[in-house]
Structure 1
Amino acid sequence: MHTGSCLCGSVAFRIDGELSPPSACHCGQCRRQSGHVWSSTSTHENNLSFAASDTLGWFRASDIAKRGFCSNCGSFLFWKHNDEDTISISMGALNAPTGLTLARHIFVADKGDYYDITDDLPQEA
């Protein structure tokens, strides 16, 4: 079981189930919304429950997915593909210890020009 929340605590959640190895997303949308790289894990959407969600908002950033955030503090919390039964959850929103280790970088072809990826983890274009 894992727990987490947004910065102000108005969105608080619990995950009862397995979490995927985290990835770091370098796509332009994640960089714009998070301010840099967005790291996330994922789980089956039925594993996610909320203790508080009054300020949970959703933004449809594309035709294929939506992004969940706290409308009070602005924390970027979730990413949900329209046609999948999984949900991505911000690593930064999870309470420690997570027991997880970053496994890969995704959308590296779109990464910012102001940094380099210097670890040996797999990189997907």
Structure 2
Amino acid sequence: MKSGSCMCGAISFRVSCDLRQPDACHCLQCRKFSGHYFVSTDVPRSALQIHGAEHITWFQSSERVRRGFCSICGCSMFFDPPAKDWIGIAMGAIDGASGTSTELHVFVVEKGDYYGITDGLPQYDRLPLPPTMPAPAPA
């Protein structure tokens, strides 16, 4: 089981499944949301338990997606497409070692000009992932 929190601790969470390999999104919205590019892992909603949810401020960033951040310390924490059965969790909010490594980069055509992507991982102009996520193995 993995756990995490925002910087001030008002929001904490537990994930009751193995974490999927995260992706790094370089789209303009993710860059503005995180201050750089956004690295997150997707977990089934049923595997995520959030404490302090009253401190999450949700911003509807597009017709299909909202983003959650702490209303107290401002930490970027969640990428939430409500119509899907999963939610994205910011890797930086996870406490301790995640046991994962970044798998790929998406929306690289929108990346900032101030950095390069030099890690040799696959790079995509869009999302190459299927519309629904397979159920991860229990932790």
What TM-score range do you get, normalising by the shorter chain? Answer: over 0.9
1:18, distance to aligned residue in structure 2 (A): 2.5
Once superposed, which parts of structure 1, at least 4 consecutive aligned residues long, lie more than 3 Å away?
Answer: none
Contact 2:19 2:98 in 1 (8 A): no
| TM-score of the superposed pair, with normalisation by structure 1 | 0.96
Q: In the alignment, residue 68 of structure 2 is paired with which amino acid? A: G
1:6, distance to aligned residue in structure 2 (A): 0.4
| TM-score of the superposed pair, with normalisation by structure 2 | 0.87
1:62 aligns with 2:62: yes
1:90-109 equivalence runs, <5 A: 90-109=90-109
Q: In the alignment, residue 52 of structure 1 is paired with which amino acid? A: G
Tell me the residue number matched to 2:9: 9
1:114 aligns with 2:114: yes
Q: CA RMSD in A?
A: 0.9
- Quote the Cα distance in structure 2 between the aligned partners of 1:14 and 1:51: 9
Tell me the residue number matched to 1:123: 123
- Quote the Cα distance in structure 2 between the aligned partners of 1:14 and 1:82: 19
1:51, distance to aligned residue in structure 2 (A): 2.8
Gaps of 5+ in 2: 126-139
Gaps of 5+ in 1: none
1:114, distance to aligned residue in structure 2 (A): 1.0
Aligned residues: 125
- Quote the Cα distance in structure 1 between the aligned partners of 2:50 and 2:62: 25
Tell me the residue number matched to 2:74: 74
Q: Deviations over 1:28-51 (max 9, x none)?
A: 001011110111011101100023
| Higher strand residue share | 1
- Quote the Cα distance in structure 1 between the aligned partners of 2:56 and 2:94: 16
